[in-house]
Amino acid sequence: MDFRAYPDREMLAMGLADALASCLRRCLTTHDSASFCVPGGTSPGETFATLSGADLEWDRVHVFLNDERWVPEDHARSNTKLLRETLLTDKAARARLVPLVNDAPTPEEGIPALEAGFEGRFPISLLLLGMGTDMHTASLFPGADKLDLAMSNTAPVLVPMRADTAGEPRVTLSRRVLADAMDIHVLIMGDEKRAVLEDARTRDPMQAPIAAFLRDATVHWAP
């Protein structure tokens, strides 16, 4: 694991946006398109806003979330809404969004149509993950109903997920497809998350799902 500490959150947003843009640019020199998989939640907003102004061929970039809450796209807790408002603006408005939610009443009913949209998108070129203080990442929550399946080597691309701490039902990319990414970055902020991440490194991924991704990751942190 590579750990990059920034003096403050503004510097983190600038440094991380720069690292992500360079990686996408590099990928597009050797490939027709790039797959860029990003977290929801509150932490990446400023990084996304900075990255959206980066000069690169966004129309060759396929963007999708690590996970989504099963709520309509205009819901306050929709990660897709956040993505449209922060990353998919300015120059990055030309990127192609691969949807992770649809009108089906449950994730189970919606997943077959969503999985079809992921054809040709793997391996992920660039993965950015967040982390909760319970050591979850994407919607891989400790104790969640389908965690066994989502962490297994034979998992499908998308797994429906319910957990007491998750709020609404979720859909998440499985560990297998996330960990297969060519380049993995993790974004965390604050002293509490730094300590939690250190602790997670020593734990079994079934208790600390973020641990499944740390060995090859670059972690970006600011107080």
Chain residues that interact with ligand 6PG, rule: CB under 6 A: 39-43, 66-67, 69, 79, 130-132, 136-138
Distant-in-sequence, close-in-space partners of 28: CB < 8 Å, separation ≥ 6: 34, 56, 57, 60, 61
The residue nearest ligand 6PG at its CB is 130
Smallest distance from ligand 6PG to CB 68, Å? 7
Q: Which is nearer to ligand 6PG, 24 or 38 (CB)?
A: 38
163 within 8 A of 144, measured Cβ to Cβ? yes
Confirm if 171 and 155 have CB atoms less than 8 A apart: no
- The dihedral of CA 10, 16, 20, 26: what is its sign? positive
CB of 107 to ligand 6PG, least distance (A): 13
Of 52 and 66, the one with the shorter C-beta distance to ligand 6PG is: 66
Question: Helix/strand/coil (H, E, C) string of 95-119?
Answer: CEECCCCCCCCCHHHHHHHHHHCCC
* Of 87 and 138, CB closest to ligand 6PG: 138
Closer CB to ligand 6PG, 46 or 57, in the complex: 46
- Least Cβ distance, residue 31 to ligand 6PG (angstroms): 25
CB of 39 to ligand 6PG, least distance (A): 4
User: Which CB sits closer to ligand 6PG, 94 or 201?
Assistant: 201
Residue closer to ligand 6PG by CB (options 56, 70) is 70
Q: Take residue 128 and report the two structure tokens written for it.
A: 């950015």
CA distance 113 to 99: 10
Q: State the minimum distance, in angstroms, from the CB of residue 7 to ligand 6PG.
A: 20
Torsion sign across C-alpha atoms 157, 131, 161, 169: negative
The three-state secondary structure class of 38 is strand
* C-alpha gyration radius of the chain: 16
Minimum CB separation of residue 137 from ligand 6PG in Å reads 5
Here the tokens at position 220 are 């970006």
